[in-house]
């Protein structure tokens, strides 16, 4: 079986993650989610008849905030060490170290707090498909609307 979209599958969304890639396909009777990670493929399928709930939501980000905050604090330690060693000369090198080691994590925390992460989840009777879109709210909204519209059409025929 080919891993690319065939005539019977239409790609709805494709998202690259840190660990691999997620692709959501629309078929005649279902949605398929292919997850590629570490050279392996996992395929989940949710049939239109079995679909109970489709959500567009912003997942909790506490692990992200704690991790980035910890890394920012860890990056601030060398800057504090430089400032304590020689307070009169250490201001510029200390601020430079802080900007290089901690500022990227603080910017990521602020960006995530302002824009948030977006996720579309399809809940079926026997399976669940979750597609994270990161900070791309527009792409998440498009995928959500397409899924919602297609499921409404398919379930209206029952």
In degrees and rounded to multiples of 5, residue 6 shows phi and psi of -105, -175
The answer to whether residue 3 sits within a structural domain is no
Structural domains in the chain (count): 2
The answer to whether residue 4 sits within a structural domain is no
Name every residue whose Cβ is closer than 8 Å to that of residue 93 and which is 6 or more positions away in sequence: 82
Cα distance between residue 126 and residue 83, in whole Å: 58
The answer to whether residue 123 sits within a structural domain is yes
Mean pLDDT, range 52-62, rounded to an integer: 86
The answer to whether residue 1 sits within a structural domain is no
**Global confidence as pTM:** 0.68
pLDDT band at residue 78 using 50, 70 and 90 as cut-offs = confident
- Tens of pLDDT, residues 86-112: 777 667 777 787 888 889 999 999 988
Helix axes 62-85, 103-115, angle to 10 degrees: 150
The DSSP bridge partners found for residue 43 are 34
In degrees and rounded to multiples of 5, residue 89 shows phi and psi of -100, -20
Same domain, 107 and 124: no
Same domain, 14 and 52: yes
Q: For the chain, what is the mean pLDDT?
A: 84
The answer to whether residue 86 sits within a structural domain is yes
Same domain, 97 and 67: yes
Range of the domain at 15: 10-59+117-156
């Amino acid at each position: 079986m080919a891993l690319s979209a065939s005539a019977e599958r239409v790609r709805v969304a494709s998202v690259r993650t840190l660990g691999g890639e997620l692709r959501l396909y629309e078929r005649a009777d279902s949605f398929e989610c292919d997850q590629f990670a570490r050279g392996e493929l996992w395929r989940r399928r949710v049939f239109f008849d079995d679909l109970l709930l489709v959500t567009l939501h912003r997942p909790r980000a506490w692990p992200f905030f704690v991790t980035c905050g910890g890394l920012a604090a860890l990056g601030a330690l060398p800057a504090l060490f430089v400032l304590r060693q020689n307070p009169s000369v250490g201001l510029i090198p200390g601020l430079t170290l802080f900007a290089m080691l901690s500022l990227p994590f603080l910017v990521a925390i602020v960006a995530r707090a302002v824009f948030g992460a977006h996720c579309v989840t399809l809940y079926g009777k026997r399976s669940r498909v979750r597609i994270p879109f990161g900070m791309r709210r527009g792409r998440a909204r498009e995928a959500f609307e397409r899924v919602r519209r297609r499921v409404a059409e398919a379930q209206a025929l029952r």
